[in-house]
Amino acid sequence: VAHDINVNHRNDEYLDGFELPTELTATTDIAEAVGDADVIVMGVPSHGYRSVLMSCAQHIERTTPVISLSKGIERETLMRMTEVTLDVLPKHDPNLVGVLTGPNLAREIMEGQPAATVIALGDGNAATELQRVFMGRTFRVYTNPDVVGSEIAGAVKNVMAIASGMAAGKGFGANTLATLITRALVEMTRLGVAMGGDFRTFSGLAGLGDLIATCNSPQSRNYKVGFGLGEGLSLDEITSDMNMVAEGVKSTSGILQLADRYRVDMPIARQVGRVLYEGLDTSQALHELMTRAAKSEFKG
């Protein structure tokens, strides 16, 4: 990949069909990559995040902002990625550890389609500086001090994208999808607020924005997994030819454990977990969701 980027100015392994800027260079030397960096962006899936960060920890200055792009939960510890960062870098300034998150499907970004994102960071001045760094002609960046809410929104969104894909794979239409996204937002907000997030975050780009994009797009790996399950394929059949991780497959169990820890009801996420880990048929999962006891919209 590094050779392809440096020589051909492409990354056909992960995002084929696009020319990369000639100023962009890649290296396989982790110390070279982070040693003199003004900002470190961790574009690593949650299951490999800790090991990659540990491999370069000694080269990271404690005042260098560390920004995660990962939308997952560490399975073994149930930590968010900013928590993992501070666990690996205990002397780092916690206000300089944050996330960049939102409805940011990579192919559309590369095509120059208008999009927006959120930089969530405790240090407001640093957030404003990074806002300018990441802002582009067709890529708008907003700041948000709510790191917890922004991370939980991204992790829960992946679970819900699997559910949305399941519904689409079964041939259901707009009514079903609208219902699912709306109730998914409820579950996301419940957990995020219980964990200390700002409820406003979940109606913003990190929450609702990312839900709408990912729950509607075959570009999403999580949606693809759900779609295949809805069509009746096994998880192994679906993932066998995927060269990148569908975060929701790994993080659903962590989200459900957090829901139990914080005593939050998440019926959609629960059914996704049963389909993924227990082999529950997707039709049965839907039937059980639709036949739950009738409740108030705002309490159930």
Inside any domain, residue 1: no
Neighbours of 95 (CB within 10 A): 16
pLDDT band at 12 (very low <50, low <70, confident <90, very high): confident
- CB 62, CB 88: distance < 8 Å: no
Range of the domain at 161: 148-290
| Residues contacting residue 28 through CB under 8 Å, at least 6 positions apart | 2
Inside any domain, residue 160: yes
Give me the pLDDT at residue 299, please: 81
| Residues contacting residue 291 through CB under 8 Å, at least 6 positions apart | none
pLDDT band at 53 (very low <50, low <70, confident <90, very high): very high
Q: By mean pLDDT, which of 8-17, 142-151, 220-229, 262-271 is the weakest?
A: 8-17
Using CA atoms, how far apart are residues 69 and 226, in angstroms rounded to an integer?
22
pLDDT digits (tens, 9 = 90+) for 100-126: 999 999 999 999 999 999 999 999 999
Inside any domain, residue 88: no
Inside any domain, residue 216: yes
Q: SS in 3 state form for 163-211?
A: HHHHHHHCCCCHHHHHHHHHHHHHHHHHHHHHCCCCHHHHHCHHHHHHH
Give me the pLDDT at residue 31, please: 87
157 catalytic per annotation: yes
Inside any domain, residue 134: no
Domain count, the chain: 1
Stretch 49-67: mean pLDDT: 96
Inside any domain, residue 180: yes
Give me the pLDDT at residue 285, please: 97
In this structure, what CATH number is given to the domain that contains residue 184? 1.10.1040.10
Inside any domain, residue 37: no
User: Could you tell me if residue 171 is left (phi over 0), alpha (psi between -120 and 50 degrees) or otherwise beta?
Assistant: left
Inside any domain, residue 209: yes
Given the residues 71, 157, 224, 250, the one annotated as active site: 157
pLDDT digits (tens, 9 = 90+) for 267-285: 999 999 999 999 999 999 9
Question: What's the whole-model pTM score?
Answer: 0.94
